[in-house]
Amino acid sequence: MKGLSPIAVLVAIGAGAVAVLGLWWSNTPVVAGPADWITGAGRITGLLAGYAITVLLALMARVPALERGVGSDRLARWHSMGGRYVVGLAVAHTLLIIWGYAVADGDNVISETVTLNLTYPDVLKASAAVLLLVGIGVISARAIRPKLRYETWFHLHFYTYLAAWLAFGHVLSDGAEFVGDRLASLAWYALYIAVALLLLWYRFLTPIRRAVRHRFVVSRVVAEGPGVVSVHIAGRRLDRLDIQPGQFFRWRFLTRDLWWSANPYSLSAAPRRGELRITVKDLGDHSRSLARLRPGTRVIAEGPYGSFTAERRRRRRVLLIAAGVGITPLRALFESIPAEPGDLTLLYRARGTRDLLFRAELENISARRGARLLYSVGPRSVVGDAFSPRTLSDLVPHLRDHDVYVCGPADMTGRVIPALLVAGVPGRRIHHESFEF
Amino acid sequence: MRRAIFAVLVTAVGLILLLSFKPHSLTSGDEPLSAVAGPDPGSSDSSGDSSGSSGSSGGSSGDSSGGSSGGSSGGSSGGAKSMGGNAVKGDAVDTVWGPVQVQITLSGKKITKVLVLQAPDGNRRDQEINDRALPILNQEALAAQSAQIDSVSGATYTSEGYIQSLQSALDKA
């Protein structure tokens, strides 16, 4: 299954936005006087916010065609950018409507706010919704986000469902575009119901169905290096999952303290003998407690997700660049991506020799496939920058002629990708997946 | 950060452009205001029923279906009597938000009462505006004893419709 191309998805989103603007256009005969201008701007921002929130939810609905075609990490980036925009639109809508109505009524904004909330149907609920959205926006802000646990942040996000539901009513009961327009109201209902069904199916029912069908359980936990463990998960009929190396699952381990959170971890090996393997570095409470998992623990796995796979490759030659625990999906690709001897190179950067994961496995694969394996180990102050355009070109002959897969912490991908571009690798052949969520 | 500023700018410019493409005055463009049952003989028949206005030449009034009930076609200038005065209906005037129609009660030449028969009430916002603007317009009309009254700000369309309907009623009286 191929999935939808990112361009097609963006075009569809844009077309929806144009349709929403058309709704406003056809329902607004005149814009006369300052009050109309302000209220008009408020209506447009409100309509767009109501539409965009469904787009945000749909992007995160784990629809396989999106996960495959666009890629989970890009979806998450779109979602976070779009999320800020939606919060901005919703706030702008609220303020503009209050202001515009106040100007029209010759009233002050405070008492207009009270009137709106108390006398217009469903507006009070919508006010609660906008406060929720602002709250979610605040916790996702760059300054605050790192101070929260992943799980806290993740679960607070579920309040967007509540916000969307609270805001839904006032659109239809107060929106000039919908009152008296059956068709527009039906279309709005259809949009929200469709997104709700996508969420229900792919985020809630599919994982349960999978768990029943595949019966995932932890089979063993192996220490790989300092603070790094591999968890092997056994399951039935894994071939039915259509897993491609480079993909990840969202794992929910059913123990007393882990069952409520589903965390994304890449497969660190191609599936074999009825077993999947993930490799996890101790980066927080969740990854730490994985080391204490007992064999036999039941697991719910959502996936496979991600488009960081061999499907993206266009050229014969392939370069994989990994840093730290970013080796996990690349380890799986190194093992399996089709390549003739000499066409495949793995460049693996780690802080120290002890931090190199899978050394034996990687060297084994390298020898078997005739693939080049390059380590860069030690502090940057000592060994220099392994990711400068110059070094990369020297290390990898015909660099421009490669497809390059990059995986590592954000600051690493932030340095490697520009360096590759400078070295002459076209952007469409640089594939990356970041750990950021 | 640069992306955020860009997004805000594009949105603001887009909003202003969209809003600026719309007509901006009540009189320009394709006549946002128009009397439904004007003196134009071509249109008065068909629109008279639906809007509930009485024909301009006259006689029938008393209910909104065009004077068909009980054959009560009254006198020459607005027939139905109410509380010691002549009630005269104005035309139903279509505004962008819906028709406005008033009925005045005359005692001799004096307007003693203005009753609003129709005003836009498609949504909560319209009702708000009516609740605020209509009493003011009624007061103004009684004070001025004519249709030469000011619009209520924030209720421009309703005011315009009100004034036109009032004028048409006065013309008939």
- pLDDT tens digit sequence for B130-170: 888 898 999 999 999 999 998 887 788 889 899 999 999 99
Inter-chain residue contact B19 with A174, CB threshold 8 Å = no
Q: Tell me how many residue pairs between chain A and chain B have CB atoms under 8 A apart.
A: 78
| Residue A306 near residue A266 (C-beta atoms within 8 A) | yes
Q: Which of the given ranges, A94-98, A171-175, B97-101, has the highest pLDDT on average?
A: A94-98
Query: Domain extents for chain B?
Result: 26-172
3-state secondary structure B114-142: EEEEECCCCCHHHHHHHHHHHHHHHHHHH
Collect contacts of A75-83 with beta carbons under 8 A, ≥24 apart: A76/A436, A76/A437, A80/A140, A81/B3, A82/A52, A82/A55, A82/A56, A83/A56, A83/A136, A83/A137, A83/A140
Banded pLDDT at A329 (limits 50, 70, 90):
very high
CA–CA separation, B50 and B42 (whole Å) = 15
Q: How many residues does chain A have?
A: 437
| Residue A47 near residue B41 (C-beta atoms within 8 A) | no
Task: Lowest mean pLDDT of A269-273, A411-415, A422-426, B31-35, name the range.
Answer: B31-35
- From residue A378, how far is each of A30, A406, A430 by CA, in Å? 68, 19, 25
Q: Which residues of B touch A (CB under 8 A)?
A: 3-4, 7-8, 11, 15, 18-20, 22-26, 29, 32, 96, 122-125, 128-129, 132, 153-156
**Chain B contacts of A30, Cβ < 8 Å?**
22-26, 29, 32, 96
How many CB atoms sit inside 10 A of residue B72's CB?
A: 14
Collect contacts of A104-108 with beta carbons under 8 A, ≥24 apart: A104/A35, A104/A39, A104/B129, A104/B153, A104/B154, A104/B155, A105/B128, A105/B132, A105/B154, A106/B153, A106/B154
Residue A179 or B62, more confident: A179
pLDDT at A116: 87
> How is residue A188 annotated by DSSP?
H
Pick among A20, A30, A97 to test the B interface (most B CBs inside 10 A): A30
pLDDT digits (tens, 9 = 90+) for A351-392: 888 889 999 999 999 999 999 999 999 887 787 788 899 999
CA–CA separation, A62 and A259 (whole Å) = 19
Helix (H) or strand (E) holding B168: helix B156-172
- From residue B70, how far is each of A78, B60, B65, B73 by CA, in Å? 68, 11, 12, 9
Banded pLDDT at B14 (limits 50, 70, 90):
very high
> So what CATH class is A310-434?
alpha beta
- A86 pLDDT more than 90: yes
Pick among B5, B22, B34 to test the A interface (most A CBs inside 10 A): B22
CA–CA separation, A319 and A386 (whole Å) = 14
**What is the CATH T-level fold of the domain B26-172, as seen in this structure?**
Sufe protein. Chain: A (3.90.1010)
pLDDT digits (tens, 9 = 90+) for A336-346: 999 999 999 99
pLDDT digits (tens, 9 = 90+) for B18-36: 998 888 765 433 333 444 4
Q: Are strands A248-253 and A228-234 parallel, antiparallel or unpaired?
A: unpaired
CA–CA separation, A125 and A131 (whole Å) = 10
Per CATH, the homologous superfamily of domain A215-305 is Translation factors (2.40.30.10)
CA–CA separation, B115 and B173 (whole Å) = 15
Residue with tokens 């380590």: A375
Helix A159-174 vs helix B124-144: crossing angle, to nearest 10: 30
pLDDT digits (tens, 9 = 90+) for A187-218: 999 999 999 999 999 988 998 888 889 999 99
Which of A11, A71, A16, A22 shows the shortest CA–CA distance to A194?
A16
pLDDT digits (tens, 9 = 90+) for B67-93: 333 333 333 344 444 455 688 899 998
